[in-house]
Amino acid sequence: MQPYEIGYLVGGVVAVVAIVVAAVLGRRAGRRGLQQRLTALASRLGVTPTDENGVEGVLLHLERVTGEAAEAVTEASADAIRLRRSIDTLPQGVIVCDENGDIAFRNSRAVELMSSGHADALAAQAVTELLEKAWNDGSAERTLDLYGPPRQTLAIRTKLVDDGRRPLGVIAFIDDVSERRRLEEIRRDFVANVSHELKTPIGALGLLAETLTVEPDPDIAQRLASRIQHEAFRVSRIIDDLLDLSRLEAEESPPREPIYVNLVMAEAVERVRAAADQRKVSIELHEPDPPIHVLGDRRQLVSAIHSLLENAVTFSYEGGTVELTATESDGEVRLSVADAGVGIPARDLERIFERFYRVDHGRSRETGGTGLGLSIVRHVAANHRGRVEVDSREGEGSTFTIVLPKPTELTA
């Protein structure tokens, strides 16, 4: 029995009870006729009186039916509340229209998705159009791009609801697929960038090898062999950085142990020393005194600082200086790499942590850069619950700072 049918039943029973009371208080002469009418009404309500003595039997049965109907209404109301609360917890927006086309229900997610400034009007219009289309076609769907800010992508689907005989209404589902779309774009761009980055050196290797096989001059052959070695090293660097980046993404919570920052800094400097000497760039190491420590993965931290030092050396002028310092204040440990090199244009600052993004494409490829170093740095900082800060001006130099929480903050 539907809730509205139960409601009608309760109303009818109440009316009958009122008639019975009036009958009892009325003239005794009309008692028999009223009893007959009450018996007929009770039969219409599905009650079969067993008491043949009069009105009392009908009242007894009507009282039982009234109690059962009230209990059924209470249960139906509880079920409706439970269903409404359950739909409110769904991550998708849900809108239900009745048979007249009026909105009968919207869950909290639908209200949120359709109440975000200017975008709500566009979303509401799209939902209205799809609801109307579902009435005619049975179903409809559309992907709606809202350029914000913030940028959103909504997948809207509508479907006609019926009981097999007649339409009962239309239901709409609104799904925010912005994050899914962003990840798809990242994956697509990543595949395209990897293909492009590997295609260039591999193509060069094939061409150089082909030229080398027919080159009779030993000096030219030596130069070709050196070039082949350089391109092979470049491919190896790209693959190593890709493996490091993949490993960092998989290690969202790396093993944490107490690590002295002084030792991490010293190891990173030694790894970049040869490249600095080749470019005649000096490295000044300012170790903290007394030594300070953090909780984290030593290999990851050394890799991140080495990437920053390598970039600083690469983009410093010949004879320049790169400084590596560590300080501790306000519950944070700050590891900074500063140079007085070419700097970064303001237009590029927001994109420098993207994979394969290069500010100076020609110089990066000339120096063997893969465009993955800063992505690695960002992942290392995130894995240690920290962040990366950048202060750079074109032509004046750059300062990159890895900010990590103090050990007490990590263990809290």
Contact predicate 154/116, CB 8 Å:
no
User: What is the rounded CA–CA span in Å between residue 105 and residue 254?
Assistant: 46
In the three-class reduction of DSSP (H, G, I as helix; E, B as strand; rest coil), residue 400 is classed as strand
Among 107-116, 186-195, 197-206, which range has the highest average pLDDT? 197-206
Tell me, yes or no, whether 100 and 172 share the same domain. Answer: yes
* Cis check: omega of the bond before 149, within 30 degrees of 0: yes
Mean pLDDT check: name the lowest of 241-250, 258-267, 365-374.
365-374
Whether 4 shows a pLDDT value over 50: the answer reads: no
Q: Is 90 helix (H, G, I), strand (E, B) or coil?
A: coil
Residue 261 has pLDDT above 80, yes or no: yes
The three-state secondary structure class of 61 is: helix
CA angle 349, 354, 358 (to 5 degrees): 70
Pair (397, 278) in one structural domain: yes
Condensed to tens digits (0 to 9), the pLDDT of residues 305-345 reads 998 999 899 889 988 999 999 999 888 999 999 999 888 88
Whole-number pLDDT of residue 194: 74
On the question of pLDDT at 296 being above 80, the answer is yes
* Range of weakest confidence among 19-23, 40-44, 65-69, 197-201: 19-23
Residues 46 and 146 in one domain: no
Q: Greater confidence, 290 or 43? A: 290
Domain's final residue, options 87, 113, 145: 87
Residue 227 has pLDDT above 70, yes or no: yes
Tell which wins on pLDDT, 16 or 226.
Answer: 226
In this structure, are 231 and 272 located in the same domain?
no
Of 87, 108, 129, which residue is a domain's last? 87
One domain, residues 211 and 349: no
Please tell me which residue, 402 or 93, carries the higher pLDDT value: 402
Residue 106 has pLDDT above 80, yes or no: yes
Beta carbons within 8 Å of 406's beta carbon, 6+ residues apart: 294, 328, 331, 332, 333
Mean pLDDT of 267-286: 91
Do 268 and 386 belong together in one domain? yes
Domain that holds residue 309: 252-412
Statement: residue 403 has pLDDT above 90? yes
Last residue of a domain, one of 33, 63, 87: 87
- The answer to whether the CB of 387 falls within 8 A of the CB of 324 is no
Contacts of residue 167, defined as CB under 8 A and 6 or more positions apart, other chains included, come to 99, 135, 160, 161
126-152 residue pLDDT tens: 888 888 888 888 889 888 887 766 778
CA 107, CA 101: separation in Å to the nearest integer? 17
185 & 263 share domain: no
Query: pLDDT band at residue 235, thresholds of 50, 70 and 90?
Result: confident
> Does the pLDDT at position 25 exceed 50?
no
pLDDT of residue 149: 67
Instruction: Kindly state whether residues 227 and 269 are assigned to the same domain.
Output: no
| Number of domains the chain contains | 4
pLDDT tens-place string over residues 358-369: 665 444 455 555
What is the structure's pLDDT at 48?
A: 57
Higher pLDDT, 140 or 242: 140
Contact 17, 59 (CB under 8 A): yes
Question: Which pLDDT belongs to residue 63?
Answer: 66
Query: Are 39 and 155 members of one domain?
Result: no
* Residue 3 pLDDT greater than 80, yes or no: no
274 with 169, same domain? no
Over range 188-214, report the average pLDDT: 80
Q: What is d(CA 186, CA 179) in angstroms, rounded to the nearest whole number?
A: 10
Task: Name the band, by pLDDT with cuts 50, 70 and 90, for residue 409.
Answer: very low
Please report, for the domain that includes residue 139, its CATH number: 3.30.450.20
- Find, among 270, 284, 279, the residue nearest to 324 by Cα: 284
Under 8 Å between Cβ of 255 and 222: no
| CA atoms of 47 and 62, how far apart (whole Å) | 7
Judged against a pLDDT cut of 70, whether residue 13 lies above it is answered with no
Measured at the alpha carbon of residue 125, what is the angle toward residues 123 and 126, in degrees to the nearest 5?
65
CATH of the domain at 342: 3.30.565.10
Q: Please tell me whether residues 186 and 294 are part of one structural domain.
A: no
**Is 402's pLDDT higher than 90?**
yes
On whether both 409 and 311 belong to a single domain, the answer is yes
Q: pTM of this prediction?
A: 0.53
**Mean pLDDT lowest among 58-72, 79-93, 251-265, 377-391:** 58-72
**What is the gyration radius of the CA atoms in the chain, in angstroms?**
38
Which of 26-30, 53-57, 287-291 is the least confident region?
26-30
